[in-house]
């Protein structure tokens, strides 16, 4: 069964919050690309780099993303989140997920820290 884009966004967010690296990675394609929205800087490409980046992130025991808003159109889901547990402040994040063939294959982020 193929999950809808919204179901996939929900699944990856739940896995993120439970720090379940295997379940989290299962939501993304092997050739996943993660970049910054405004300047287009590619943060990492491919599952090996993706897995390493999130293994590092999940090592923060208090890491948590709170969903504030979600917009979904077709195969695109846009989440607005507050991420805590990475430092002293709250990271305000806009995440745009593109779904292709039942997996997220591209993520674009915009983020700002509120202290």
Show me where the domains of the chain are located. 5-114
In tens, the pLDDT along 13-67 reads 999 999 999 999 999 999 999 999 998 899 999 999 999 999 999 999 999 999 9
Name the percent of the chain in helix, strand, coil, to the closest 5.
25, 50, 25
Nearest to 58 by CA among 93, 27, 89, 23: 23
> Which architecture does CATH list for 5-114?
Roll (3.10)
* Distance in angstroms between the alpha carbons of the first and the last residue of the chain: 42
Full-model pTM: 0.93
């Amino acid at each position: 069964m193929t999950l809808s884009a919204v179901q996939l966004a929900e699944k990856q967010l739940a896995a993120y919050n439970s720090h379940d690296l295997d379940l989290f990675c299962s939501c993304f394609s092997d050739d996943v690309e993660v970049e910054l929205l405004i300047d287009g800087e590619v943060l990492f490409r491919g599952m090996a780099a993706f897995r390493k980046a999130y293994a590092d992130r999940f090592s923060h025991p208090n890491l948590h993303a709170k969903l504030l808003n979600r917009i979904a159109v077709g195969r695109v889901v846009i989440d607005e989140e507050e991420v805590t547990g990475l430092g002293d402040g709250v990271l305000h994040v806009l995440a745009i997920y593109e779904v292709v063939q039942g997996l997220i294959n591209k993520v674009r982020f915009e983020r700002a820290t509120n202290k």
